Amino acid sequence: MITLGMLHYRKDPQTVFKSYTYAAAAKMEDCNFFYFTPGMVDMDKEKIKGLFYENGDWIEKKVPYPDVIYNAGGAKTKMQINVHDHLSERIPFTSHPIGDKMSVFNRIMKGKDFAQYLIPSEKILSHRRVFELIDKYKELVIKPVAGAQGIGILSIKKKDNLFELEENKNTITLSKTDLEDKLTDLLIQDDAFLAQPYIESKTTDGLSLDLRLHVQKSREGMWILTTIFPRIAAKGIVTNIHSGGYVSDFTIFLKTQFGDEYYNMKRYLERFAVLFANHFDSLYEEPLDELGIDVCLDNKGKIWILEVNWRPGIPILFRGEIDVAKNTILYCKYLAEQMEN
């Protein structure tokens, strides 16, 4: 029986809601499972004070290193980084970082096979360049290079000699001078921003939408599709659930949007998800385990890649959290067996 460790920076597994789901999935797949933090690791003795879920509570036991580590939370301090480095040199980790939005864009572009699905993107270096892009595309989206959950996204549309700015679901009209001031404020921040032309992707009701393609490695170490769910903006262009968007059942959504063509669109998206995951994985030295591929569909039905997410979240619906946990545990078993061979 293999042993899996779930590594996270939070001390209490009860504050990491998915810890229980992963413990349950491990039990169903006949694996030992414990939760631990970097502070629970004794690097000299190669022991861990692991927390095991037993009889409705998390019980501490001192155990040897596990066969595989599901690194669910990143390192935040120098000590945590040292522990992560120490463990990753000895034990296979499931997850490996993919980089920020621009580095991912550049990697896909260099890989060529899926470059045609990329929205032209570039890091903003001056407000003059932003105005050049607005003149070229008429409507522009600006987002943080290292952003998440739809936070900090702006939309700029040129209307005659004025500019319509959408931010946090609010729309205001600015003069060129006012917009220059706004962009200057962005440029002096520590965070970098990128600009993309706006791709119109809307429901039949006129609401902005995109789709999350959630893929994982399987028991055989192959990419499989876990789920696809549409994300629809209640207002504005930001569809992320944390920013007020909502999700819909995939098949019902496609039938509503595409009628008799829904099945062809379903197969198109499902096939794209797996093919892209295989290609994207090949662009990295360390194997990837799970991706959230965010795409939109233009008015001709063409797929455009918005971004690729490492450690993607999943809304608690349609049993998604159970499927994700099960696939992760099965992939852990695959990794453990690879180490034995």
User: Up-side HSE of residue 1: CA atoms within 13 Å toward CB?
Assistant: 9
Token pair belonging to 141: 């989206």
Q: Name the strands in the sheet holding 139-144, side by side, starting at the edge strand that comes first in the sequence.
A: 122-123, 193-197, 139-144, 154-159, 162-167, 170-174
pLDDT of residue 132: 93
Asked if residue 105 lies in contact with residue 121, where contact means CB atoms within 8 angstroms, the answer is yes
The predicted model gives 159-178 an average pLDDT of: 88
The predicted model gives 244-254 an average pLDDT of: 80
pLDDT of residue 188: 73
User: Up-side HSE of residue 45: CA atoms within 13 Å toward CB?
Assistant: 9
- Given pLDDT bands bounded at 50, 70 and 90, which one contains residue 174? very high
Among 14-18, 134-138, 239-243, 270-274, the range of highest mean pLDDT: 270-274
250-258 vs 262-282: helix crossing angle, rounded to 10: 120
**pTM (predicted TM-score):** 0.91
- Given pLDDT bands bounded at 50, 70 and 90, which one contains residue 105? very high
Helix (H), strand (E) at residue 320: helix 320-340
Look-up of token digits 């990419």? 223
Q: Top-level CATH class of 3-88?
A: alpha beta
d(C-alpha 273, C-alpha 279), whole Å: 10
The predicted model gives 198-215 an average pLDDT of: 89
Give me the residue spans of the domains in the chain: 3-88, 101-118+202-310, 122-197
3-class secondary structure, 97: coil
pLDDT of residue 47: 97
Where in 55-205 does DSSP place strands (E)? 57-64, 68-71, 122-123, 139-144, 154-159, 162-167, 170-174, 193-197
For 84, list phi and psi in degrees, rounded to 5: -55, -45
d(C-alpha 47, C-alpha 66), whole Å: 9
Q: Which residue has the higher pLDDT, 291 or 193?
A: 291
pLDDT digits (tens, 9 = 90+) for 117-136: 999 999 988 888 999 999 99
The predicted model gives 1-25 an average pLDDT of: 95
**Whether pLDDT at 247 is above 70:** yes
Q: Top-level CATH class of 101-118+202-310?
A: alpha beta
